[in-house]
Chain A
Amino acid sequence: MARNGVVASQRWRSDGEISSQQQPAHDSAAKEVHVLAVDDSLIDRKVIERLLRNSSYKVTAVDSGIRALQFLGLDGEEKKTSSIGAFDSLKIKVDLIITDYCMPEMTGYDLLKKIKGSSTLREIPVVIMSSENVVTRIDRCLEEGAEDFIVKPVKASDVERLRGYMETTSEPSVRVNKRKQRESCESCNCLSTASSTSSSPISSSSPSPSPSPPPTSMSSSSPSSTPMSMSVPSSPSPSQSPSPATASAPCSPSLLDSPTRRLKMSSPQEE
């Protein structure tokens, strides 16, 4: 019963095939993907929690950046130097952080900087949410290392896109989803994995047949791999992309800035 990433989890669950809403797909080695959601709005926390749980993620929702850091064990210090040393090894594992931008006291941007500035936490992908679609704000966040920027209100299709950012498999998917580069990079050769199109407007995606040769190589190579690698269908993209940065055109340099992205680029794929 391998769960394809794109099967709508709510339908899945209403068939009664997954007992708990937090049970992950079997194909991810029964390891729960844990998302930390940060938002000062109670309503938004409820909504994002439900959206994430419907996708079978384990969710922890907190109402501020400070609480998020506490949860992550940062708490203002790089390392936990408390006497309870055992906590270090029991450190709560978080696979993705999704945070609102506008929050009192500590904005999502501040939180992002703190996370990326921490040696222990910087590898955790961070996604920013905001009700305002401000390009400078988006750029700032992406430059600081955010994986993606979601404009509120958050929908199921936005959550689908998150799959590509989870690091729970040995088969990393290319995380090149950036809102602003969505159009220009869709047919870019270096974004040759399926998830490159996760930012495509049509994210209700089927993983299957992609017309464009390179993109599918990644997604179809490991059928038993987790949802991550197949979650985002490249099939819609070629027809979707209005402004095809041609296959040979280099992606925006900022794509390569993130160390994790560079890692993805260098992994064996067709380039």
Chain B
Amino acid sequence: MLVGFGAERLGADMNRLLALLFHQGVLDEQFLQLQQLEDETSPNFVSEVVSIFFHESEKLLTSLRSLLMMVEGDHDQDHEGGLEYGKIGVHLNQFMGSSSSIGAKRVRNVCLAFRAASDHHNRHGCLRALEQLEHEYCYLKNKLHEFFQLEQQKVLAAGVRYPMNHYNNNININS
């Protein structure tokens, strides 16, 4: 049946994508924990939480960049950037917490390195870490978008399976 096959194939694609992300260390077990929390009463839980994560992360990245620019732009000896580094630390703690809560392992690890650089007021180290963080975040975001798109397609594909199969077979949904 074309329709059923479509949903199954999409499911397989999703699993493959997840397996890849796990293998790359991009995601960890916590993501699975979130998936297990989904059910009929909250079928979109993971995508909702991930959306919040994206929204918060982008604000954090913007803040981090502007804080670092402030440190960089000021060569005044009196202004060591202690205040900025302190704020950077706070933002990173938040970022670490949220990424850990959704299972975004690589993002979290980069935050950790970033925080270490920030604690040492290491501007160069921070800049490098920020770039890496932006890169990891982008990669994660793209992959998760892909994942949720597959999920949406799968839901649609599976949906048309019910209830009138003879009708669907004539429609060739999945060609």
Contact = CB atoms under 8 A, between A and B. Distances in A.
Given A14-B39, A21-B41, A43-B52, A153 B100 contact: yes
A237 interface: no
A43 B56 contact: yes
B147 interface: no
A43 B36 contact: no
A44 B94 CA distance: 11
Given A44-B101, A102-B93, A131-B100, A153 B37 contact: no
Interface string B79-99: 000000000000001101110
A153 B96 contact: no
A260 to B, nearest CB: 30
Given A13-B39, A13-B41, A152 B52 contact: no
A51 B39 CA distance: 12
B101 A156 contact: no
Q: How large, as a class, is the contact surface on chain A?
A: 20 to 34
Q: How large, as a class, is the contact surface on chain B?
A: 20 to 34
A240 interface: no
A153 B52 contact: no
Contact of B97 (A10, A46, A152): A152
Contacts, number: 59
B96 to A, nearest CB: 7
B41 A131 contact: no
Given A152-B97, A155-B30, A43 B102 contact: yes
B49 A43 contact: yes
Chain A CB within 10 Å, residue with most, of B34, B37, B94, B101: B101
B97 A47 contact: no
Contacts of A154: 101
A47 B36 contact: no
Chain B CB within 10 Å, residue with most, of A10, A14, A43, A155: A43
A10 B52 CA distance: 23
Contacts of B42: 50
B36 A10 contact: yes
A43 B34 CA distance: 11
Contacts of A263: none
A41 B36 contact: no
Contacts of A199: none
B40 interface: yes
B101 A10 contact: no
Interface in A131-158: 131, 152-156
Nearest to A131: B97
A155 B45 contact: no
A56 to B, nearest CB: 12
Contacts of B102: 43
A42 interface: yes
Interface of B: 30, 33-34, 36-37, 39-42, 45, 48-49, 52-53, 56, 93-94, 96-98, 100-103
